[in-house]
Amino acid sequence: MYHYKAAEKAQEKAQEALDKTNEDGSITPEEKAAIDEANKDVETAKEKAADAVDKLPESDVKDSLKDRVNDVQPVEITPNTDEEKPAEQDSQPKINAAKTAAEEAATAKAAAEKDGVVSAEEAKNVNDLIAKAETAKGAAQQAVDGLPAGEYKTAKDGEVKAIDVPTNASETTTPTATVELVEDTGSDAADGVTNNGKITVSVDEPYRVESVTVKGTPLVKGEDGQYQLPEGTYSKDDIQVVVAHAKGGQINANTALSPATVTVDTTAPTEAPEVDGAAEP
């Protein structure tokens, strides 16, 4: 006779299961299955209650019981939990992955550029991370695009668009160090021949000359800021200059030698022998 109470009780249990599921704002497949099972219990109890009430004689009590039985309904999993939340669970991890990838790329780029000099290898490594971040951001955007229209989708779309993937890193352009003779003492003022071997080595800012090596031998910078070439003949390929960026990074510079070939000859010129006058007849 009290089947209607059993139906109402089944509905209460189903509602309690749904309320508990919604506490964390999402629903798992296991939780949905449990609610579906509770709803089946509601349907079964409602059918039994309806059959029992139908067998009652017509009366106001019967009509009241029918209304109570009809009021018993399975609980409804709203679109907010059943449709948007699974989509959220799919999109949020991708958004988080894109954020992490972008942060890693930005960190790597900042580290590579910290000393002012970016090598080819550093640029490649950084740009590989940037490419991965762009791919991750694209995947996150695609996941968000698949969300149902609404405030949640709008918020997630803004979250993806706010992910800042850095621009590509560029290998540092090799600076040029200019090497010049202090004094050309040859027969021609521009023939590159000198008897003192003094040279100046300069480079444009933000670099400074760090070291000068000639044919594998380091040169020491004099108090006058000049370097002394040993005796010999040199081309630009014989002189290696390392320069340092103002931020601390070092790089091998291109060498521009002026004139193109320099010869240091410290041998004193030989005086011409005196020629005796012709013998008197």
Quick check: 103 and 164 in contact, CB under 8 A?
A: no
Q: Give 76 or 204, the one with higher predicted confidence.
A: 204
Residue 32 DSSP SS3: helix
**What's residue 222's pLDDT?**
93
Token pair of 136 as six digits = 């991750």
Which residues have C-beta within 8 Å of that of residue 251, sequence separation ≥ 6? 117, 172, 174, 175, 207, 242, 243, 245
pTM score of the predicted model: 0.60
The CATH code belonging to domain 176-264 is 2.60.40
**What's residue 83's pLDDT?**
45
149-187 tens-digit pLDDT: 889 999 999 999 999 999 999 999 999 999 999 998 877
Bond preceding residue 206 cis, omega within 30 of 0: yes
Extents of the domains making up the chain: 3-81, 83-161, 176-264
197-238 tens-digit pLDDT: 999 999 999 999 999 999 999 999 999 999 999 999 999 999
Distance CA 53, CA 57 (A): 9
Token pair of 81 as six digits = 């939990």
Q: What is the mean pLDDT of the chain?
A: 87
40-63 tens-digit pLDDT: 998 998 898 888 888 888 888 778
Quick check: 153 and 147 in contact, CB under 8 A?
A: yes
